[in-house]
Amino acid sequence: MWGGRRRGRHGAYGFGVDEEGDRAGAEGATYVIGDVHGHRDELIEALTDTGLLDGESWCGGAARLWFLGDFFDRGPDGFGVLDLVMRLVEEAPEQGGEVSVLLGNHEILALGMHRFGDKEVPSEFGPRSFERSWRLNGGQETDQEALTDEHVEWLTTRPVLALDGSHLLMHSDTVEYFSWGDTIAEINAGVAEVLAGNDITDWGECWRRMTTRYAFRGPHGPEVADQMLGSLGGEQIVHGHSVIADQLGIQPDEVDEPYLYAEGKVLGVDGGLFVGGPCLVVKLPWTESD
C-alpha cells in the first residue's frame, strides 16, 4: 500500500515512516519517482522519509528504485539531482539494491541544448532551436555549465522504456514511442541511435515526440493503454510527465497520492514538484486509497 498521504518532516510526501519518524524496512520493495526538475533537497527529503537514503547515501538494502526522468529545468539544481542519482546507481548494488533511470523529455532538451545550442532545427512548425525551447521550458545556465562529457555519455545511454514485473515504465504518457520500434528493445535502441548521432532533425523530432502527452485520457484511454500493454508487455503503465493536479483540475498542494486512471490500467506519478506539489515516491504495486 502506498504510504504517501502523510507529509514527511519537511513537507515532502514519503513512505514507510511511522508517526515517530522511524523508518520501516524498504527491503526488496520497488519504488518509482517522477519528475524532480532540479529540486534536489526535496528529493533527498522524500527518499529519506521513504527509508531509501541515510543522509545522502543509499540505505534501502535490496529495494529497487526507478527514476522516470526529468531531472533538469524549472528548478535550482538539476545537475545536483543528476549527480546524486548517478552516485545512487553505483551505491545501491553494494547492498543488493538497484537504482535505474529512464530518460524524460527534459533530458533530451538539456542534451540538445548542450550539443546544438541556438542552431536552427529544421521544422514545418516554423523557426526553432534547442536553446529557445530550453529557455522557454525553464532551462538553467548552471546545469549546462556543469555538464561534462562523462555526464552526457551516461545520459545518452539510458533507456526510455522498461518493464518491471507487471509494470510498463515510461516518462511520457504518449504512444509516440512506437515511432522508434515495436518492442521495448527496438524503441530503446532507436532513441539511443538518435542520441549517439548528430542529426539535429532527428534530435528535434525526439524532443517533440517526448513532449506529447495525455494518450490515455478520455473515453478511448483504456483501449489505447490496452494496445500499448499488449504490444510492449505488462499489466499497468506507470508514467510521469503530466502533472497530476492538471489531470484532476486541482491545486498542486492538494495532490497527496498518484493518479490511477484509464480503468486502473495507468498510474501517473508526477506530483508537480516544480509548481508546489509533493515529491511522490510511489511503492509498486500501488492500491488506491479508500
Q: What is the pLDDT of residues 57-110, one digit of tens each?
A: 999 999 999 999 999 999 999 999 999 999 999 999 999 999 999 999 999 999
Can you list the alpha helix ranges (DSSP code H) found in 157-259?
184-196, 200-211, 221-232, 244-248
Q: Does domain 30-284 have CATH number 3.40.50.2000?
A: no
How far apart, in whole angstroms, are the C-alpha atoms of residue 173 and residue 101? 17
List the one residue out of 95, 289, 112 whose CA is nearest residue 191: 112
CA geometry: angle 126, 106, 194, nearest 5 deg: 70
pLDDT attached to residue 124: 77
Region of 262 please: left (phi>0), alpha (psi -120 to 50) or beta: left
Listed by start position, the domains of the chain span 30-284
Q: What is the percentage of the chain residues whose pLDDT exceeds 70?
A: 90
CA distance 238 to 66: 11
φ, ψ (nearest 5 deg) of residue 166: -95, 10
Given a cut of 60, whether residue 224 has pLDDT beyond it is yes
> Which residues are CB-neighbours of 200 under 8 A, at least 6 positions away?
116, 119, 121, 122
pLDDT at 20: 32
Grid cell of 85 as nine digits:
542519482
pLDDT of 117-167, one tens digit each? 999 998 777 779 999 999 999 999 999 999 999 999 999 999 999 999 999
Q: What confidence score (pLDDT) does residue 98 get?
A: 97
